[in-house]
Structure 1
Amino acid sequence: MPKSFWFIIFYFTLFLILLKIFPTIIGSLVVALFFTLLIDVIASYLEKLKISRKITVPLASLIFYGAIVYSLYSLIPITIEEGKKAFDVVNSIEINQIPGKTGEVLNTLLDTAGKYLNDLIIQFASYLASNISNFITVGLLLIVASAYMAIVNKQLWNAIDKFFPNSEIKTTKKFLLLTIKDLKKFVSGQIITAFFVGLTTWFSALVMGFPYPLFLGILSGITDFIPYLGVFITAIPITLLGFTNFGLVGILKALLILTIANQLEMWILSPRISGGKVHLNWFLVLVSLLIFGQLYGIVGVLITIPILIIIRNVWDMYIIQYLKKI
C-alpha cells in the first residue's frame, strides 16, 4: 500500500478523534470550511455574469451570511412570540359542553398541552439566555475562520508537500484535487436544491396567506443544508404560525407546505441534482447520517456526505488499485 495512503488514514483518524475531544472548536472549523466552499461556489456562479472575482467573493459572503443572520434574527423572536400565542389559544379553548369523561379527558389534554408549551417557551428562552455568549463566540469563529481559509487557500495548497511523502506527492495531489472537486459538486447541488426548496416554501406560504413568507422561505433554504434535519427546524415556526393564525386548519396548511417542499426535494431535486453529482447510495447516506449524528451531533450530520466522498475516493484510488495488484 502506498505511503500516502497511510498518511491520509492517519490525518483522517486524527481529525475524528479531535472532533470528539474538542467538538466546538473543531466543529466550528469544519463548518467554516464548508462555508468557504459554499461561498466559493456561489462566487463561481456570480462570475458567470462576468463579474470580477474581487467582487464576487465579498458579494457571495454578504448574500450567504446575510441570509443566515436574517434567519436567526427572525427565528428566535417569531418562535417565542408565536409560542406564547399558541399557549394562549390552547388555554382559551373550553370544551365543558361535552359531558362525561370525554370532556374531562379532552380538558386534561388541553391543560397538559398548555403547560407543556409554557414550559417549552421558558426553557427555550433560558437556553438562549445562558448560551448567548457561546453562540456569539462560535459565530465570530466561523466568520473569521471562513474568511481566513478563503484568503490563504493557495498558501495551504502549497504547504501540502510538508505533510505528505514527496515521492508520492503527485498521487496525493491528484486524490486531493478529486476530493475537492467532488465536494464542490456536492455543495453546488446543495445550493441549487436549497434555492428551489426555499422558493417553493416562500411561494406556498405566500399563496396560503401565512405571515412572514420570506422568512419561511429563507429559513427552509438555509436549513436545507442540514440533511434530513433541516425540515424539522423549519417545521417549528411554520407550524406555530399556522396554528396561531388559522387554528387546526393552519397546522394542516403547514404540513402541506412542508410535504410539498420535502417531496420536491426527495423525488425531483436531490436525485437529479445532488445525487447525480456525488453518486452516493441513499441507504448508505441514511445509515451514515445516523452513525455520525450519534457520534458527533449536528456537526456529524453536516460532515456525513463529505466523509463518505473521502472514503469513496480513498477506496477507488488506493484500495482498489492495491487489490488489483494482489
Structure 2
Amino acid sequence: MVDFFRSNGFKRFIILIGVAVALYLMWSMINLILLTFIITYLMNELSTSVTKRLRRIAPINEKAVIVTLYLLLVAGIVAVIYKYLPVVSQQITQLFNLIAAFNLNPNDNEIARYLAPTFEKIELGKYLEQGVDLTLTNLTNIGKVIMHVFIALILSLFILLEKKRITEFTAKFKDSKIGPLYDELTYFCKIFVRSFGKVIEAQFVIAAVNCVVSVIALYFMGFPHLIALGIMLFILGLIPVAGVIISLIPLSIIAYSIGGLMHIVYILIIVVVLHALEAYFLNPKLMSAKTNLPIFYTFIVILFSEHFLGVWGLIIGIPLFMFLLDILGVTSVPEVDLQKKVTVQDNKEKPID
C-alpha cells in the first residue's frame, strides 16, 4: 500500500487533479486561457513551417516571420470586422428568417405529405425566433469577445517572440526545491501539446477545408447568404462528427426551399464526399498518431463535455479526451509501432508504476 502512494502513477494523478482544480478556480478566465493556447500553438506551427520554407530561398529571422504573420492576422481580423460584420449580421438574420419561413407543401409530393404534420408539431419557426433573440443577445457581448481575442493575440505574440528565453527561465525550476513537481508538469505538458495540440490543429485544418469546399459547392447550387453559411460551416466543422450532422439540418431546409428534394440529395452527396475526404485523406495525414474513436465514444464525449464545459466543450472535448487517453496509454497504433513507442518513452520518460 505504501509503495502505491509513493509510485509515480499516484503522484501524477494527484498533480493532474491539482491542475484541474486550479483551472476550475480560474474558470472566469477560461476563455482567455484557451484562446491564448490555441492561437499560440497554431501560430507557432505556422511560423515554423513558413520559416523553414523561406530559409530554403534566403536566410531569414524567425521573429520577423512571426511579427509579419501576426500583423497579417490582425489586419485580416480588423478588415473582416469593419467590412463584413454588418454583412454577416444581416445575412445571419436573413438566414434565420429563411429557415423560420420554411414549410412543406403537402401537395408537392408524397414524402412532403408525411413530413408536413411532423414539422407543424415541431413549430420550427418558434424555435428559430428564440434562436434569433439569443443570437442578438449574444451580439451585445461581441465587444468582450473581441477584447479577449486581441488580448490572447498579444499574449501569444510575446510568448512566441520570447519562447527561447521563456524555456531557459522555466528550466531553472528543475534544480529548485520544486524540481520533482517541475519534472511531472513537464511530462504532462509534453503529452498535452502532443495530443491536445495536434488534435486541435487537425480540427481547424479540417474545418477550414470542409468550409471552403462546401461554400464552393453551395455557390454552384445557387445557395444564398454564403458568408453566413461559411461561418456556420466552419464553426460546426470544429465539432467532430456531430458538426456535420448538425449542419445537415439548416442546409437541407435551405436546399428544399430553393430546389426541392433533388437539392437535398445533392447536399447529402456533398456531405458524403466531404466525409470521405476527411476520413481517407485529411485524418490519416493530420492525425495519423491519434486513437481512432468509435462514433459512439465521440458522441458520448461531446455530450458530457458540452454539459460540463458549455460551448467550449464541443470544440475541446475530443482533444481533452485524447489527452487523457494518451496519459493512460490507450492507443490503437500497430503492435510494432507501439513497441517502438514504448522503447523510446522508456529512454526519455520515467515509467508509470
Question: Which of the five TM-score ranges fits, normalised by the shorter chain?
Answer: 0.7 to 0.9
Q: Is the 8 A contact 2:255 2:264 kept in 1?
A: yes
**How far 1:9 moved relative to its partner?**
1.5
CA contact (8 A) 1:37 1:187 kept: no
Deviation at 1:282, TM superposition (A): 0.8
Deviation at 1:237, TM superposition (A): 4.7
Q: Is the 8 A contact 2:40 2:156 kept in 1?
A: yes
**1:275 is aligned to 2:275:** no
| One-letter amino acid of the counterpart of residue 138, structure 1 | V
Q: Which has the higher helix share?
A: 1
Partner of 2:202: 189
**Alignment length (residue pairs):** 310
**Structure-1 separation of matches of 2:194 and 2:137:** 41
Distance in 2 (alpha carbons) for counterparts of 1:61 and 1:38: 15
Whether contact under 8 Å (1:242, 1:251) holds in the other structure is yes
Please point out which of 231, 241, 244 is paired with 2:257.
244
Aligned to 1:35: 39
* 1:118 pairs with 2:125: yes
d(CA) in 2 for partners of 1:71, 1:311: 40
Deviation at 1:232, TM superposition (A): 4.5
Inter-partner Cα distance in structure 1 for 2:270 and 2:115? 30
Q: What's the offset of the Cα at 1:82?
A: 3.6
**Residue type at the aligned position of 2:130:** Q
Letter in 1 for 2:143: I
- The alpha-carbon deviation at position 320 of structure 1 amounts to 8.1
RCO (CA 8 Å, sep 6+): is it higher in 1 or 2?
A: 1
Paired AA for residue 297 in structure 1: G
Residue equivalent to 2:306: 293
Hey, what does 1:264 align to over in structure 2? 277
Residue equivalent to 1:209: 222
- 1:89 and 1:165, CA in 2 relative to 1: closer, same or farther beyond 3 A? closer
Contact 1:47 1:56 (8 Å CA) reproduced:
no
Q: Give me the whole-angstrom Cα distance separating, in 1, the residues matched to 2:224 and 2:12.
A: 54
Deviations 1:210-261 (A, max 9, x none): 3455664564344322223332454355334323322333333333323322
Instruction: Measure how far apart 1:129 and its partner are.
Output: 2.8
Query: In structure 1, what is the Cα distance between the partners aligned to 2:230 and 2:98?
Result: 22
Q: For residues 118-162 of structure 1, give each alpha carbon's deviation from its aligned partner in whole angstroms, at most 9, with x where no partner exists.
A: 323321222123333334323422331343233246476545739
Q: Which moved more, 1:208-217 or 1:259-268?
A: 208-217
CA–CA separation in structure 1 for the residues paired with 2:236 and 2:114: 35
Secondary structure at the counterpart of residue 90 of structure 1:
coil
How far 1:90 moved relative to its partner? 2.8
Matched AA of 1:298: V
Taking the aligned partners of 1:290 and 1:164, their CA distance within structure 2 comes to 42
Change in Cα spacing, 1:289 to 1:234, as seen in structure 2 (3 Å) is closer
The reply to whether residue 143 of structure 1 matches residue 155 of structure 2 is: no
* Kept after mapping to 1: 8 A contact 2:91/2:227: no
Per mean C-alpha deviation after superposition, the further-off stretch among 298-307 and 54-63 is 54-63
Maintained 8 Å contact 1:39/1:64 = no
SS at match of 1:40: helix
What root-mean-square deviation, in Å, do the aligned CA atoms of Structure 1 and Structure 2 show? 4.3
Task: State how far apart, in whole Å, the 2-side matches of 1:309 and 1:229 are.
Answer: 17
Conserved? CA contact 1:83–1:121, under 8 Å = yes
Specify whether residues 146 and 223 from structure 1 end up closer, same or farther in structure 2 by C-alpha distance, changes over 3 A only: farther
Identity of aligned residues (%): 17
1:181 shift after superposition: 4.0
Q: Spell out, residue by residue over 1:74-107, the C-alpha distance to the aligned partner (whole angstroms, 9 max, x if none).
A: 665334324434555638x474x99xxx9xx879
Code of the aligned partner of 2:33 = L
Unaligned runs of 5+ in 2: 1-6, 55-59, 330-344
Q: In structure 2, do the counterparts of structure 1 residues 254 and 295 end up closer, same or farther at CA, with 3 Å as the change threshold?
A: same
Rounded Cα–Cα distance in structure 2 between residues aligned with 1:16 and 1:143: 22
**Matched-pair contact (CA < 8 Å) for 2:206–2:282:** yes
Aligned residue among 319, 326, 329 for 1:306? 319
Q: Which runs of 5+ in 1 are unaligned?
A: none
- For residue 351 of structure 2, the aligned residue among 297, 318, 321 is 321
The CA deviation string for residues 8-67 of structure 1, in whole angstroms up to 9 with x for no partner, is 324332146347xx4x64245324422332233233343344272221233345557878
**C-alpha contact 2:240 2:298 (8 A) present in aligned 1:** no
